[in-house]
Structure 1
Amino acid sequence: MQVDTHNLKNLYSNDFQSYLAEDWAVSWRANYVRDVTRTNQASREEWLTPEFQQFLWDHNSVANIGPGRSVTVTSAYGDMKLAELLFDLRNDPRPTALADRGKRLQKAYEIILSAVWQKHNERRPRARIIRLLALLYPDDMTCLMDESRINAVHGLVQAADPITNFMARHASVRDRIAEVIGAPDSDLARVDQAIFAWFLWQKVVKAPTTGSLKTEKEDEVSTDLPPLYLLPADAQRRSLACVQDNLRLLVTVVREAEHGITREDLVATILSEATQLNVSSAGNIISQALGGLGLLQMANGTYTLTDLGRELLLSSDHASVLRGPLVGRVFGMGHFLLLLKKHPQGIGRTDAAGKLQALVPSWTTKMPGSHIISWAKLTGMAASETVDGVAKLKLTEAGDEFALALPEDFETKWVITGPGDSDAFAPTLDLGDGKAGTPYTVADIITDGCFVALDEVQRALEILKRKKNLILQGPPGTGKTWLAKRLAYALIKEKDDTRLMAVQFQPSMSYEDFVRGWRPDGLGGLKLADGAFLEAIAQADDEPGRAFVIVIEEINRGNPAQILGELLTLLETDKRVKEEGLRLAYPRTTEERIFVPPNLHIIGTMNLADRSLALVDLAMRRRFAFFSLEPSLGDAWKKWCHDLGAPTGFLNDIKERIDALNDKIESDGQLGSQFAIGHSFVTPPHDLKNADQDRWKIWFNEVVDTEIAPLLQEYWYEKPGHAAALVDDLRLGI
């Protein structure tokens, strides 16, 4: 939305003058002018008194403050060094160039903040500083108290954009207004043009999302309370998956759509920026930007920007732009902020995710709640803090502002009355097949269909607990990945997919992918981005009292020593303490040191038959314990198949043929036992339950032709006739 010069002048001359004539506006305007005049005419003697300093910090004439009201700076009243600083800032000559005026505002804001923050309040008194600057610099400041509003008005009036930071935009907006209306020649004119910016926000810009309910505490006078429009609960998005580098991806999407873009081109852009995603995942990122957060709109097959999308591009703080849409459009975010407000001492991530899960009947895991928490942290509304050695989630200043903006009856009215749709997109976490919170033990592994003896599975779990790092190795089809995930659940003691991350190594994977490296930032530059391993470390470090597991499939398909880098050393049990922390190859600061917490366990899987896999070096072997799996076509396998209705004679026939094949494989001097055919190949799916005998045979022959035969052809690639004969020996007659 934009207003041209002609319409802007008409708005000022007509609608705005009627606006100023309203009773509340007459009072606001008079008080505003009075305080601007007092501030700029005060002598040094008057200025350097506690009474005058109290007036500067506590005056309410420019704007009301809600969230900022509690951030007082009473000790600053008697700080004469600070008073001298403010006096010098007031007398600083006004630069001629717009860019320099913007820089002056930003510099003054930063100087005052550094002088007050921590010394006079542990929280940043941002709203009070902005009001103070409105008195000090009435020619260049508006009375808009937050970045969202100033950005919106900046775009509306088509102001110049010499500098992108928040404070500089005040000067840019005022310069545009003065260009249209004329330069102010009195304090009254200066205040009118400052208030005109609020008028433009309130009467022209402010437009709620279609169908939303206005929740902003109605106040005609300017306020620092964030603008917030809540969709009804049943219309809100059921959570919103948060993936690696999600904020950067959204900025990239919005930038690409600035001049219109097709879905095909947008998907291609996302995939080039985030190689860990696939086409389906890229579609979910578009869905986030479209219906999830309202950044994009579609017309005639082309994605273009909404006003909010343009604001995201304009902003120097992308996270701040997304806070309102997350609270207003995503179910559970407002509840989470209020939950943190009720727990000022903090709450654990898993406990918080569990409480959010209870809000939606269709949420059968803690994953949606975990995504809400991730978004709150990503956008600066929540933060992790260690309390008595335990990581707790706490509300930030930004989060508190939005919690205060919620209506008083929010928790009673914003409830789910129907099943709705959920967003299950979660490519960075393995969902497994369990429900979070369901207790899980070694006995459950056997019940789920494990053909390894109970005491052996228990031994593997004990090794994992002791060594922290375990590799399941064996021939193809021995259930390595299947068992790895269930060992993780048994270690965690419940099917909690928020504490299980699964990745797969591949030949092209590098340290920069898995640990940390430089990635495009979507702005034409590069940024340091953490990989899956550092994400797992951070999650485990957040909750030291709970176990976390990362499963690395095909761990030797890449080069483990190269991928892990210096962190390979830190996997050792006795080095999992902060004192052993090492500096990474790409540190964020010179002081940063990383260690692997003792509650993060690693389970790798290794296929011994793949000729393309690298050998695992001795350094790797010394830090991992190895547990071998073999083909298991014994009583446990037969019972599982019997329970599905497989005929006894059929099972005996399969066992005899597979055993005979494995004997030939093991006796071959070029192969050996590591190339045997595992039981997973011939473990039937549930859809065969109670099928007739011919159907069982058809299924087995399909497995032979499509899964086992290609493997044998690879084994004996120089003897294709021998491989074909073995395949013929396997097939069953029908």
Structure 2
Amino acid sequence: MLLESKNVIFRGAPGTGKSYLAKQIATDIISKGAFDDYTQLTAEQKQQVEFVQFHPSYDYADFVEGLRPRVNADGSMGFELQDGIFTRFVNRAQKNYDDAQKSAATIAKEASVQEQMADYFSNLELEDYTPTTARGTKFYIESVDERHINIAIPDNKVANKLSLNVDELRQMLESGQKFSQVKDLVVFFGKRNATQQYTYDLALFNDIKAQRRIRTKVAVQRVPMKPYVFIIDEINRGEISKIFGELFFAIDPGYRGIAGEVSTQYANMHENPEKKFSIPENVYIIGTMNDIDRSVDSFDFAMRRRFRFIEIKASERLDMLNVLGDSKKNEAIRRISALNAAISSVDELNENYQVGAAYFLKLATVDFDQLWNDYLQPLLQEYVRGIYGEDEIMAKFAHAYGANAAVAGEIDDESENQG
């Protein structure tokens, strides 16, 4: 169902194992049916799954992108644009999607360049090494990460710090072209004017090309397309329009890829402001929500149209209790069934208020009375708060569950008094 629909939301009563089911399905898809236990995934496979829980203060900056404080090399404070968790996840999926379209020859070329760059930067003594531009300007490489090469230019009194784009340097090396002057880069990148970064890109390009190294033959095979599953727990507890922003359009199953490209809110701050954001075909989204949560009613209707809703009933997830052993499992199922029947019999409640099997997994460390006193009773008291006769209703629940005799006997005492 997930592979067909792209986006699904599991809805139902609390404790029905919706989050656990989401991880099971993600694991099953990623392992191609080999297993459904998330802990069995390899570290590499776990990169294909991401889990986040929405809450009222969760926002666009957490999810898509936003400005975050950073300490500059000189100790001063500044801000930088950082990707949110969903953007980082989509970037991983997009890379796999793009790589799956490439030939073995292209992959071999990219792997060779990646090795070449890694050799160059790993062998540098960053503080001592000073590359030089075509005009003789010396600069230092302060740090290198996945996206940037941060350099210092002591002789530049106007801008003595600069951040170079790793991807631009990689593209130059992969192209197989020769670059002898800055204007060659302007043409290559399709720009109207040169940037200050191009001067230093050219210097590093020539330096890397000139390095002597033993070339190893990289074993290459075509990259298979992989599924990537993003799980949003309690999706309805966040302010959806604030979190997703313009991504409403991009997550639509009918507008994946180029058809659903959008400009994000901070596009003008990107290194390439013209680059659009899109979600590739190999991304799948699973949300979970509790039907009794007050925020369900305010769940954005535009978002509802983009998800397939699947109800998870309390009676459907009893298999979770297999870990308890037969004796305790059978007793737990008996009590769940009796308690949920009592809950559904209250006019103001319905099956959305039933108790799921996940609560009973706590029986691994507590007994049935402790489960009632510390977990189930407080939950049910919230359900019946404000309902006429709430004490009698709670006594009825306790009796159905089979709580300790002192509590369960209250309903019998009240019946005798009424008689």
Range class of TM-score, shorter chain: 0.5 to 0.7
Counterpart for residue 728 of structure 1: 398
Query: SS at the partner of 1:470?
Result: strand
Of 531, 535, 541, which residue of structure 1 is paired with 2:88? Answer: 535
CA shift, 1:727, in A, is 4.8
1:175-186 → structure 2 map (5 Å cutoff): none
1:285-364 → structure 2 map (5 Å cutoff): none
CA shift, 1:466, in A, is 1.3
1:578 paired with 2:258, answer: yes
Of 364, 372, 380, which residue of structure 2 is paired with 1:712? Answer: 380
Change (3 A) 1:628 1:528: same
Q: Indicate conservation of the 8 Å contact 2:249/2:260, yes or no.
A: no
Amino acid at match of 2:358: S
Question: Matched residues in 1 for 2:319 and 2:51: separation?
Answer: 28
CA shift, 1:715, in A, is 0.4
1:225-264 → structure 2 map (5 Å cutoff): none
Counterpart for residue 659 of structure 1: 337
CA shift, 1:731, in A, is 3.5
Change (3 A) 1:583 1:622: same
CA shift, 1:579, in A, is 4.2
Question: Matched residues in 2 for 1:709 and 1:576: separation?
Answer: 46
Counterpart for residue 567 of structure 1: 247
Counterpart for residue 327 of structure 2: 646
Which ranges of structure 1 fall in alignment gaps of 5 or more residues? 1-462, 689-697
Q: Indicate conservation of the 8 Å contact 1:505/1:552, yes or no.
A: yes
Count of aligned pairs between the two proteins: 257
Counterpart for residue 199 of structure 1: none
Amino acid at match of 1:721: D
Counterpart for residue 557 of structure 1: 237
Q: Please give the TM-score of this superposition, normalised by the length of structure 2.
A: 0.56
Of 274, 278, 290, which residue of structure 2 is paired with 1:595? Answer: 278
1:472 paired with 2:5, answer: no
CA shift, 1:701, in A, is 1.4
Q: Indicate conservation of the 8 Å contact 1:713/1:723, yes or no.
A: no
Change (3 A) 1:500 1:634: closer
Change (3 A) 1:515 1:717: same
Which ranges of structure 2 fall in alignment gaps of 5 or more residues? 33-40, 98-224, 406-419
Query: SS at the partner of 2:342?
Result: helix
Change (3 A) 1:563 1:633: closer
CA shift, 1:613, in A, is 4.9
Query: SS at the partner of 1:620?
Result: helix
1:700 paired with 2:383, answer: no
Question: Matched residues in 2 for 1:680 and 1:480: separation?
Answer: 9
Q: Indicate conservation of the 8 Å contact 1:558/1:613, yes or no.
A: no
Amino acid at match of 1:514: F
Q: Indicate conservation of the 8 Å contact 2:372/2:403, yes or no.
A: no
Q: Please give the TM-score of this superposition, normalised by the length of structure 1.
A: 0.33
Question: Matched residues in 1 for 2:316 and 2:251: separation?
Answer: 35
Change (3 A) 1:727 1:662: closer
Query: SS at the partner of 1:508?
Result: coil
Amino acid at match of 1:528: L
Change (3 A) 1:728 1:664: closer
CA shift, 1:479, in A, is 0.5
Counterpart for residue 358 of structure 2: 680
Question: Matched residues in 1 for 2:274 and 2:318: separation?
Answer: 57
Change (3 A) 1:473 1:717: same
Change (3 A) 1:635 1:553: closer
Question: Matched residues in 2 for 1:585 and 1:593: separation?
Answer: 11
Query: SS at the partner of 2:373?
Result: helix
More strand by share: 2
Change (3 A) 1:733 1:597: same
The structure with the largest alpha-carbon Rg is: 1
C-alpha deviations, 1:440-469, integer Å up to 9, x for none?
A: xxxxxxxxxxxxxxxxxxxxxxx2101111
